[in-house]
Chains A and B, each alone.
Chain A
Amino acid sequence: MEMESFSSLTVTERDQILVEQQVFNIFKTFYNIPPSSQSFMLELQRENHVEYLTNGLKQLGPSFCVLDANRPWICYWILHSIALMDEFVDPELEDNTIDFLSRCQDPNGGYGGGPGQMPHLATTMLQSIHLEKLYSFIRQMKYASGGFRMHDAGEIDVRACYTAISVASLLNILDDELVQNVGNYILSCQTYEGGISGEPGSEAHGGYTFCGLATMILINEVKRLDLSSLIDWVVFRQGVEGGFQGRTNKLVDGCYSFWQGGIFALLKRLNSTRGEKSIPLGDGEDSGPDSSETTASSDATGKGLIEDLSQGGSHIEKGDQHDTSSRVNSKRHAKVKPLFNSLALQQYILLCSQDLNGGLRDKPGKSRDHYHTCYCLSGLSVCQRSWLEDDDSPPLPCAVLGPYSNLLEPIHPLYNVVLDRYREAHEFFTGS
């Protein structure tokens, strides 16, 4: 191997130092001001964010041309962000949006744009969704290797697997055929670092790791992943700035607050003892022998987790009816330490990612946009509840950085949809 010498400071390192300086200056300012001003700096500027988002829904500036093919995504980013802040959109505007989205469904069943926007609006779009056609569309996108194509003749990757599987599971149309080989494909994308890459051979990446892990949970094959190395990888993606990087030795970026932070939310649920649903209730409502052993079949697919989240501990209520209080289950407000530094991440989101005039961003010096607004806020919601097992109870004040009014609505971490909206959709599509 020939010897050349390395220059002492690489571009990457210079960029990293610049970002650190910017971030640390913000933190320094913050720590040197009186507590009352500190509290203001940490406040989530709800009104400004809502205004910025609502304007986006009405009309986007002309500079958004490049996003034209992603219009449903923009709708999702905006509406989800608004829902996280528990705000509502003016009904006329909402109708217009729904009307627009329903026009995106192609006669062949798929939706133009990503399918991820659907869960959010599912309840109001019911009449317009043609489930059978949607199923056959997803089925056609399936590829022999186990992967999915993003669209007809489109690219195959982990993102596509996630969108296909998550939509199918949400609409309750997931079956063996869709699931077949998906697990193998995702496994082939887990790298030696522990994270998951977009396609085999590529580098581990936060967005894909989230998509891959969520997919594996949905198809009930999560144990096939090397979870300990995955955890190892993701914990080391949180940097000195408090925020997350997307890949090894890249710069911090606010949007990974959700992609990486959401991984922790998933991992936490995975190990919650309350995920257990296969216990016969002994009062005639026996859940039957089906759920515990089936892997990836149409009706048992990951339901333990999903129902756990959607029903908020129904078997505990059942138990209560029989007047059997339990020490194991009654401690529902237990404080459990998350595997990442949740307060540091909140500090990064609020102080560095927040544009005080509304909207959130990648990092200081970048401009706000709807994508980053959506995923920074989603990440913030995950953080605020990272100490809790139960999404139905409010988090402790010490878990929420800044004023308690910063508290956002809880999300369903598998779909990144506000939990209440998820439940409405879930009820509709399962017919319960």
Chain B
Amino acid sequence: MHGRPRKASKPEDEAASTTKAQKLRALQTQFFSFHHSKIYTKEAVELSAKLLEINPESYTAWNYRKLAVEHYLSQPDCNPETVKSVLDDELRVVESALRQNFKSYGAWHHRKWVLSKGHSSVDLELRLLDKFQKADSRNFHAWNYRRFVAELMNRSEKDELKYTEDMIYTNFSNYSAWHNRSVLLSSLLEKKAEGFLSKENLLPEEYEFIHQAIFTDPDDQSGWFYHLWLLDQTVTTDHPLLVSTWPAHGSDVFLVGDRCQNGSFSPFTTVLSDSGSFPIVLYFNQPVKGVSSSTVIIECGFNKNEELLWEPLSVSNSQTAQVWVAHLKCPTSELDSSVEISVGYSKEIVSPRGSQYSHPSTFSFKVHVQPVERDSSRVSVAENILWREENFKVYRAQSEESIPIPSFDQLCIKNGHESTASNWRTEALAKEVECFRELLSLMDCKIGKLTLARLLMAYDVMSFPFANKLVHSEEVLELYNDLMKLDPTHHRYYKDEHSLVLLRKMTSSEESLLQHCFQYKDSVSSAIGNPICLRLNNLSLSRIRAFERLLWVQMLDLSHNELESIEGLEAMQLLYGLSLGNNKLRSLTALEPLRKLKSLRVLDISYNRIGDHSIDTTRYLCSSPLSHSVGSELNDVALINYWEAFYMFKDLNLNQLDIVGNTIADEKFKSVLVKIMPLLKRLDGELLD
């Protein structure tokens, strides 16, 4: 009944249908009596057919017929001919039931059951389906049944592909057909069927095809959804790749016991190692699992017998993550040692979809140790970072210094085919860009602009390792600015995309990054040295990403932006000081990525909106708090109401926290914080005892 129009009834119709109902009632009584006594005579079976013709949803009758069929087939005098005639009868009953209601689950399922017996001709099925699919081209029962039949008769997927084409030419809005096309193509590509060996030849043809639909009527949505799928197919490489590491390939890492010691080394690669170890970070292009001491081989002069423990950096605590970290013990001698790390020579690193990491790569770096005894109490008390404008001095790079950002080709990709294999992708994207520029010259079209922005960005990212420059970022930013004005209901989405492009642009080259690097220097802070701070403040960023370019950052200023989430920040394992002041963070749990930052000592989350709302709708993308496991240490009753604070802060080793200017930060809350973090030295600038 769902979705089917009914006509208003006239009195005479009503009388007729009352008679019909009475007839049905009588039929039913008779049917159940046959069913319960297991009577499968011809008369009884015919009666069930009558019942189903009136009411195809009567699944008890369908099951009765299955029992009847089994009964006939098990008779000793049963021969191929009777089998065929029995099953043909079933198909006829189903067909007339479907005529009554072609959304009947029971009828479609009964047909599958009959065909699975393997005695009926499948060829007729396609003809029947054509009829039904013409009548209701989006009936998902019919599409499901079609996939079933095609598989049963071993019909080639190419023929089915042709069918979707025909359906699309009949009505290019038919998204069911586009959907089935994507399912078929995925399957053909996976099987490497003849003519479908690679996306390289296939996708350009698909683009041609979809252009016809889109150009015919840009207002129809089906084509755009399919185009988005194609774009995804174009840009995603099947196999996971290592895109960035810390330490970077070829870099020199200086490990110091005390920050004020670092005068003579590059501030970019000098790391405080008071914990006796330093992190190694692997950053992949997609989430992977299986990173372990057997898939990542490390060779170095020190630390010979210890197996590294690789930890996935994901807030959801799953064993799949895009970023992995392990901690390597510092060499005990002061000698310089080199470290070589090989990733993926055994095959266990895989994406969740099951694609193997297949581009084994090796990177190496040198470690220099400068162990210094230090009086920790003295230093800690004095440490006080003030995120004030006057404390940041423009950084002037020493001539030989460079920021250790690994570029893609530095990772010694042993398999050299990747660059040529990507050519077709870049070409396909370039062609699409041209095509949508043309479309936009003909008409003003929101989805066209959005698509062009996505295409340009994808193009830049893809050609980036070679061009080392994002050629189109200005144009993309302009498109998103336009879209924000044109389509205010989706303003925030465009704003997020705009932020991400901006970040990509700023982090794309050493030159542009250096413009945001400042040296921290205040009047009293000799104890913390003069670290480099990356300042991405005042940019009205609503989202952040591009962390693969920022793994080296130890001090980061993100203040005065519009951040509601800091998803992904967990990758920045070297972070020591972080300012998130004057953003739009709305809950403590939005800070979850920070829990993975073991080096973080100084945090500013002042002037946010924490505590304004009891729940935060922006956290849909983060892990569910259902998974939070709070330890049994939480004995203090007063803390129960502050479990979020407890959960967030108990594992952080903060020395300094600024939280003023949040609804949540009253005196009581601050006293709880002090309890949770016994190591805290300063809260909102005040020295604690």
Q: Residues of A at under 8 Å CB distance from B? A: 1, 3-6, 8-13, 61-63, 65-70, 112, 150-155, 191-193, 197-199, 201-203, 205, 220, 222-223, 227-228, 231, 247-250, 253, 255, 267-268, 270-276, 278-283, 286, 289, 292-293, 302, 304-305, 315, 318-319, 322, 324-329, 331-332, 334-339, 362, 365-367, 369, 371-372, 389
Contact = CB atoms under 8 A, between A and B. Distances in A.
Contacts of B169: 4, 6
Interface string B663-679: 11010010000000000
A63 B9 contact: yes
Most chain A Cβ neighbours within 10 Å, of B1, B17, B66: B1
A339 B17 contact: no
Contacts, number: 263
A205 B140 contact: yes
A367 B1 CA distance: 10
Contact of B1 (A67, A228, A336): A67
Nearest to B173: A12
Contact of B14 (A62, A152, A271, A274): A62
A270 B624 contact: yes
B18 A334 contact: no
Nearest to B206: A1
A324 to B, nearest CB: 5
A154 B109 contact: yes
Contacts of A328: 588, 611, 614, 641-642, 644-645, 664
A1 to B, nearest CB: 6
B417 to A, nearest CB: 27
A362 B664 CA distance: 46
Nearest to B205: A1
Contacts of B613: 331, 334-336
A322 B637 CA distance: 8
14 contacts: A11-B173, A12-B174, A68-B55, A68-B57, A69-B58, A199-B144, A228-B621, A270-B626, A271-B616, A273-B589, A274-B615, A282-B635, A292-B628, A362-B3
A191 B3 contact: no
A417 B100 CA distance: 32
Interface in B206-225: 208-209, 212-213, 216-217, 219-222, 225
A425 to B, nearest CB: 22
A273 B229 CA distance: 35
A112 B14 contact: no
Given A11-B173, A324-B640, A279 B630 contact: yes
Given A270-B624, A329-B614, A62 B20 contact: yes
A362 B636 CA distance: 55
Nearest to B141: A198
B640 A319 contact: yes
B641 A329 contact: yes
A291 B361 CA distance: 42
A10 B640 contact: no
B226 to A, nearest CB: 10
B147 A389 contact: no
Given A6-B213, A202-B147, A273-B625, 7 more contacts: A65-B24, A153-B63, A154-B105, A248-B222, A253-B3, A276-B625, A325-B641
B466 interface: no
B318 interface: yes
A201 B180 CA distance: 8
A223 B18 CA distance: 52
Interface string B101-129: 10001101100110000000000000000
A367 B611 contact: no
A150 B110 CA distance: 13
Nearest to B219: A13
Contacts of B165: 1
Given A253-B3, A276-B626, A271 B615 contact: yes
Given A62-B21, A228-B621, A292-B629, A10 B173 contact: yes
B272 to A, nearest CB: 34
Contacts of B28: 68
B56 interface: yes
Nearest to A318: B640
A10 B6 contact: no
B288 to A, nearest CB: 16
Interface in B134-178: 138, 140, 143-144, 147, 165, 169, 171-176
A249 B638 CA distance: 53
A276 B643 contact: yes
Nearest to B182: A192
B611 A324 contact: no
Given A66-B55, A69-B57, A202-B144, A11 B621 contact: no
Interface string B169-204: 101111110010011000000000000000000000
Given A65-B54, A248-B225, A273-B625, A203 B176 contact: yes
B406 to A, nearest CB: 28
A268 B113 CA distance: 41
B220 A10 contact: yes
Contacts of B56: 66
A315 B59 contact: no
A198 B144 contact: yes
A325 B629 CA distance: 23
Contact of A324 (B143, B638, B664): B638
A98 B1 CA distance: 25
Contacts of A202: 140, 143-144, 147
Interface in B293-317: 316
Contact of B173 (A13, A63, A324): A13
Given A68-B57, A227-B621, A271-B619, A327 B629 contact: no
Given A61-B17, A328-B614, A271 B625 contact: yes
A12 B177 CA distance: 13
Contacts of A199: 144
A203 B63 contact: no
Given A3-B212, A198-B144, A339-B617, A304 B626 contact: yes
B435 interface: no
Interface in B572-609: 587-589
A339 B617 CA distance: 8
A282 B636 contact: yes
B508 interface: no
Interface pairs A-B: 3 shortest CB-CB: A326-B641, A12-B173, A62-B21
A366 B5 contact: yes
Contact of B216 (A8, A62, A68, A192): A8
A116 B403 CA distance: 61
B441 interface: no
Contacts of B616: 271
A327 B611 contact: yes
Given A192-B232, A198-B144, A324-B637, A332 B614 contact: yes
Contacts of B221: 248-249
Contact of B59 (A69, A193, A231, A322): A69
B3 A279 contact: no
A319 B642 CA distance: 11
A292 B647 CA distance: 13
A231 B109 contact: no
Nearest to B105: A155
A5 B209 CA distance: 11
Contacts of A268: 615, 617
A112 B229 CA distance: 42
A151 B611 contact: no
Contacts of A362: 2-3
A250 B623 CA distance: 32
B611 A193 contact: no
B55 A69 contact: yes
Contacts of A272: 615, 625
Contacts of B2: 255, 362, 371-372
Interface centre among A67, A202, A228, A292 (most CB of B within 10 A): A202
B632 interface: yes
Contacts of B627: 223, 292
B620 A271 contact: yes
Nearest to B226: A248
